[in-house]
Amino acid sequence: MRFLDIDHVSKDFAGVSVFSDVAFSIAEGEFVTMIGHSGCGKSTLLNIIAGLEQPSAGGVVLSGREITGPGMDRMVVFQNFSLMPWMTVFDNIRLAVRAAHPDWSRRRVAEWVQRYVDMVGLTGAEAKRPAALSGGMRQRVGLARAFSTEPKVLLLDEPFAQIDALTRGVIQDELVRMWSASRNTVFMVTHDVDEAILLSDRIALMTKGPNARLAEIIPVKIPRPRTRAELIDDPEYLRLRNHILHFLVEAAQRPGAAEVEIAASTGRLPSMDT
């Protein structure tokens, strides 16, 4: 059951605690989202799971092995896409596929890459460089790159924060479709309450930083497949949304609460995490 175990992880920066004693585990194939205010360290936690940062205390265990550094079993989809700007769409994905399958022939790699290019609807844009693509298209490349290596765990770091609102919904649907087929274990970090409810099996709520803590983990008991259109009228959705927004507002009773007032009215927190 304990596939990915976040074992009492704490992180300090320059002697100041960002978050401490965060402990939960994610089952295989589960989609867990973390929501919290800017500065609660949720992206830092994601980086620790990715192996890009080290925890100050505690550790992360993936299928029985402690994580000590980055690895191909955990692919990250970055908020700023992080595509190689000197490579084409095709080459960006191919870099990952070749890394995952060094023993494959060039042809097999190319076929595999093409499959994922097609899957995210970028057929015809293979030879373009990221600079020639919109934010939405870039993140499609990011998703294709991550899914193409079939990682055990997908780490999504506010993947839709830099995509315009209309495109965001379309790409969320694509993520759901790809994830339904692959059933990777997913840990996502977001500001977007609606997005979290739409996508997640469980939602982890962080208190406000510094010295943030894991407050609670709420199961999302809305049957899949979920669509945004049905979700809007679902009583369970409304209950969860209210619950989360109340939590976020109350968590922010300390100074700096103004931004949460905005969040409560829009259902979206201002994105400030880096």
Partner 1 sequence: MGRDRLRVVCYSLVMGVALLGIWQASVAGNAPGQGLPGPAAVARAAGEMLANPFYNNGPNDKGIGLQLLASLGRLAVGYAVASLVAIALGVVLGLSPALYRAVNPYIQILKPISPLAWMPLFLYTIRDSGWAAVLVIFMSSLWPTLANTAFGVVNIKRDYLHVAAILQLPWWRRLMQVILPAAAPAIVAGLRISIGSAWVAIVAAEMLIGGTGIGYFVWNEWNNLALTSVIFAIIAIGLIGVLLDAGLGRLSRRLAWSE
Which residues lie near partner 1 (CB under 8 A)? Answer: 50-52, 69-72, 74-76, 78, 80, 82, 84-87, 95-96, 99-100, 129-131, 149
Return the SS3 of 159: coil
Residue among 20 and 149 whose Cβ is closer to partner 1: 149
For residue 227, CA distances in Å to 87, 162, 250 come to 35, 22, 29
Residue among 50 and 260 whose Cβ is closer to partner 1: 50
Residue among 69 and 223 whose Cβ is closer to partner 1: 69
Phi, psi torsion values for 213, nearest 5 degrees: -135, 160
Residue among 51 and 159 whose Cβ is closer to partner 1: 51
For residue 62, CA distances in Å to 7, 18, 50, 53 come to 11, 23, 11, 16
CA pair distance 53, 6, nearest whole angstrom: 14
Residue among 87 and 215 whose Cβ is closer to partner 1: 87
Least distance between partner 1 and beta carbon 174 (Å): 21
Return the SS3 of 187: strand
Query: What is the token pair recorded at 50?
Result: 């990715």
Least distance between partner 1 and beta carbon 155 (Å): 9
Residue among 96 and 144 whose Cβ is closer to partner 1: 96
CB within 8 A of 175, min separation 6: which ones?
143, 156, 159, 199
Least distance between partner 1 and beta carbon 149 (Å): 8
Least distance between partner 1 and beta carbon 96 (Å): 6
With 0-12 / 13-18 / 19 or more C-beta atoms within 10 angstroms meaning exposed / middle / buried, residue 23 is: exposed
Least distance between partner 1 and beta carbon 221 (Å): 33
Residue 35 near residue 196 (C-beta atoms within 8 A): yes
Least distance between partner 1 and beta carbon 264 (Å): 32
Least distance between partner 1 and beta carbon 251 (Å): 30
Residue among 10 and 149 whose Cβ is closer to partner 1: 149
CA pair distance 55, 67, nearest whole angstrom: 10
